Amino acid sequence: MAQQDKEAELASLFDKLDSLTEHGQHAKALKVIEQILKVSPGDEDALRCKVVALISEGDFEEAQKALGHKRLEGQMAFERAYVLYRLGRLQDALKAASLAAAAADGGGGGADRRAEALQLEAQLHYRLGNAAECVAAYDRLVSEFKADSLELKTNAIAAYVAGGLSSRVPGLMASLKVTPKASFEVAFNRACGLVAEGDLAGAETALRVALKQGEEALYEEDLAEEEILDELSPLSCQLAWVLGRLGRASEAVARLEPLVGGELSDPATAAVVANNFIVDGHAADPNQKGFYGRSIKRLDALLDRASADPLSLSAGLNTRLSAPQRRALHLNRALLYLQSGKAEAARDLAAQLSKAWPDCQEVAMLQAVLLARGGKAPEADKLLAGLASGAADAQSATAAQLLRAQIALEGGDVPGALGVLGGLTGELATAPGVLATRVALMEQTGDTAGAEALLDSALAHWQSAARADPRDEAASEAVGWCLQRLVALKLQLEKAGEAIALFLQQQQQQQAGGGGAGGRRGASSAGRAPGAADAVALARLARAAAAAGDAEAVSVLARQLPGGVEAAGAGLDPEALEDLTRALNSVRAARRREAEAEAEAAAAEGADGAAAKRRRGGGEGGGAKKKRKKKPRYPKGYDPSKPNGGLPPPDPERWLPKWQRADHKKKQKRAPRRERGEGPVKGSQGAGKVDDALDRTGKKAGEAMEVDKGKGAAAGGAARPNLPQRKGSRK
């Protein structure tokens, strides 16, 4: 009978459990499961339901404990892998997922179960940065299992982007029959692909479309504005990053400010937002008050203080952020320490980063900067030289070389910086910024011939590029800059003819609207009027040509004047100018003669005065009267031979108001206790019982001096004390 009651109770409890599970009430289901396990300890079905309910409630620690029950040994492989994944044990989860997929392939489950295990395995590869394995897993899901859910397609696109296969994303989307309009998640992943390809303008447009699409979709789900902001925070963060890379740091900061001020549900997104907000904020305004202190606190708040590892992050960020993201966050911390004067903290962090990422170029460059700041510039240069020679690509080598040049310039080693910049190759060697720096340094060191040769070669290079592509605005601007600098340099070297020819080439280029530079001496004067810089150069060229007696050059330059020579001299009377010149010359000559006469008179008077003084002084040496040194006057009691003059040190609180000083209460005059409304002074024993007859505070002045008649000491009255008579009192 008892067995039948037990089975009936179990059946009732399982029915209740089934109903709660169907309605998603997992917390109540866990209570029912505990009741079942009390009735039937070790019930396998109840244990399996307990694991699922705990996973649904997000209690993965307890779920792992439940999976450790001996009755579940060798079972629920997929659930084990998922729990390990959510606990951040990615390597263990990957092994468990591989076992689950193998078991499903071996007949341990249906096609859906095998697809779930393979999808979890692909997600783990994605989180671990195994791009090739992740892409292969998603390809297998699409080809073998015909998985066509929108979520799977979205993840497959993300895997291709993370795996460096952004160029294949359009073809993948076509094969999956999905477009960016399918969901804002798909549009977001497509925009990330454009970012990876370097199409930042296209990525900005795609991200704005994805944001609008996401807002419309989430508004239809009746979400609040705060919830929509939270859901779309990854898109806003990515858009801010794109705006920052496009040089629009202020717009990026405005995009990130609502995210920094709010509470984001995803800690990984919150960490990326905090990091990017600091980077874009510094780019927008590097002179913000208190910027470094605030930024250090913001990034230090992401650390796991309880961990012994100084690079450990809190809230599961170690597994949620990729390795490059974690490295960038710590590198920015080190740079903030360095800029805020915390060099020792920056060195410690750089040493930890070097251990964690020994092959990272950015970490090595940070160490070089720290060496240079510590006065070890030669060691920093040696480190960067080795880094440049062993770089895997040209871009990495160039970054190291440019940092070498910067450190050399900060240390005052101009020849060393010139040597490093001169060793650059490729397009960077003729880049306008590098070219301008080299020319300025050569002029600073007096190597004008070297600067001239460098500009001549750069001009030939950019003219060739402009002829190859007349629409290349960068090449046209570089040609104009080279011509302008060469004109000034040729004039400095007194090569007026070459300077004039180059100036005319510059004018012809400007008249052509920024096209390739060419031209010849004696070009047409048609075109725009010269600007302020051109007018200055034109004036210098005209003076140089006139000084050299080159009439032809003067004639050519005259035609370059705005409106020609006639316009330049319009409204002027030559005869009046000659008369004015003669008048000015006569006035100046008269003033000069007067000044000379005054100077001669002053000199003669000075000589007579000196002779008279010598006569009064009785000789050559007695004429000069010594100036008596004034004796300094010291304050009273001041002895200059003693420290501080022998006076007591000044009061450190002399700048404070008197009522704030420590000795104010000692000096202030206190009113009598009776006026302050206080009672008689109590003794150390506190308020004891006092004879009321001795208390005179309640009596009038006249009554206080009277004696209670008819009462003596024997009668219990208080005798009047025999006080001495006060001086001046009435008898």
CA-nearest of 514, 438, 437, 450 to 483 is 514
User: 574-583, 639-648, 674-683 — which one is most confidently predicted on average?
Assistant: 639-648
Average pLDDT over residues 405-429: 88
pTM: 0.65
Average pLDDT over residues 312-324: 82
Helices (H) and strands (E) in the chain, counts: 34, 0
Average pLDDT over residues 565-588: 67
Given a cut of 90, is residue 232 above it in pLDDT?
yes
Q: What pLDDT, on the 0 to 100 scale, is given for residue 560?
A: 62
DSSP tag of 84: H
340 within some domain: no
- Residue 51 CA to residue 80 CA, distance in Å, equals 10
Structure-block tokens of residue 79: 């659930």
pLDDT-derived band at 481 (thresholds 50, 70, 90) equals: confident
Structure-block tokens of residue 563: 């409106």
Structure-block tokens of residue 44: 């396998």
Check: CB of residue 204 under 8 Å from CB of residue 246: yes
Which CATH number fits the domain that encloses residue 456?
A: 1.25.40
Given a cut of 90, is residue 132 above it in pLDDT?
no
DSSP tag of 88: T
Average pLDDT over residues 154-170: 87
546 within some domain: yes
Check: CB of residue 26 under 8 Å from CB of residue 53: yes
Name beta bridge partners: 303. 313
Query: What residue spans of 129-266 are helical by DSSP H?
Result: 131-144, 150-162, 169-176, 184-197, 200-220, 225-231, 233-245, 249-261
Neighbour-count burial for 499-521, b at 16+ CB within 10 Å, e otherwise: bbbbbbbbbbbbbeebbbbebee
CA-nearest of 392, 395, 391, 458 to 422 is 458
Q: What pLDDT, on the 0 to 100 scale, is given for residue 367?
A: 93
CA-nearest of 313, 240, 334 to 281 is 240
Any residues with CB less than 8 A from the CB of 196 and at least 6 apart, and which? 161, 164, 166
178 within some domain: no
CA-nearest of 275, 231, 273 to 256 is 273
pLDDT-derived band at 516 (thresholds 50, 70, 90) equals: very low
Which region among 49-53, 368-372, 532-536 has the lowest average model confidence (pLDDT)?
532-536
- Residue 303 CA to residue 310 CA, distance in Å, equals 8
Domain extent at residue 506: 437-562
CA quadruple 547, 551, 555, 560: dihedral positive or negative?
negative
526 within some domain: yes
- Residue 459 CA to residue 465 CA, distance in Å, equals 10
- Residue 618 CA to residue 108 CA, distance in Å, equals 130
394 within some domain: no
pLDDT-derived band at 561 (thresholds 50, 70, 90) equals: low
Task: Kindly state the percentage of the chain with pLDDT values over 90.
Answer: 21
CA quadruple 675, 680, 685, 686: dihedral positive or negative?
negative
What's the number of domains the chain is made of?
A: 1
Given a cut of 50, is residue 704 above it in pLDDT?
no
Which region among 103-112, 238-247, 448-457, 502-511 has the lowest average model confidence (pLDDT)?
103-112
Average pLDDT, the chain: 79
The tens digit of pLDDT for each residue in 614-647 reads 555 544 444 555 667 778 888 888 888 887 888 8
Given a cut of 80, is residue 190 above it in pLDDT?
yes
pLDDT-derived band at 527 (thresholds 50, 70, 90) equals: very low
Instruction: Give the three-state DSSP class for 524.
Output: coil
Q: CA-CA distances (angstroms) from residue 173 to 35, 78, 154, 163, 167? A: 51, 29, 9, 16, 11
- Residue 160 CA to residue 155 CA, distance in Å, equals 9
- Residue 587 CA to residue 579 CA, distance in Å, equals 12
Given a cut of 50, is residue 118 above it in pLDDT?
yes
Structure-block tokens of residue 697: 């505070």
Q: What pLDDT, on the 0 to 100 scale, is given for residue 272?
A: 94
Token look-up 């439940």 returns 66
Task: Kindly state the percentage of the chain with pLDDT values over 70.
Answer: 77
537 within some domain: yes
Q: What pLDDT, on the 0 to 100 scale, is given for residue 199?
A: 92
Which region among 221-235, 317-331, 613-627, 683-697 has the lowest average model confidence (pLDDT)?
683-697
Q: What pLDDT, on the 0 to 100 scale, is given for residue 521?
A: 36
Structure-block tokens of residue 617: 């002084």
Given a cut of 90, is residue 336 above it in pLDDT?
yes
C-alpha atoms less than 13 angstroms from C-alpha of 600 in its C-beta half-sphere: 6
Token look-up 């340094």 returns 441
Average pLDDT over residues 432-441: 89
Geometric angle at alpha carbon 209, from 207 and 212, rounded to 5°:
110
Name beta bridge partners: 65. none
pLDDT-derived band at 665 (thresholds 50, 70, 90) equals: low
Structure-block tokens of residue 155: 């993840």
- Residue 139 CA to residue 159 CA, distance in Å, equals 10
Geometric angle at alpha carbon 485, from 496 and 420, rounded to 5°:
125
DSSP tag of 693: G
The tens digit of pLDDT for each residue in 57-90 reads 888 899 999 888 888 887 888 899 999 988 888 8
- Residue 229 CA to residue 234 CA, distance in Å, equals 9
The tens digit of pLDDT for each residue in 587-605 reads 777 888 888 888 888 887 7
396 within some domain: no
693 within some domain: no
How many residues comprise the chain? 731
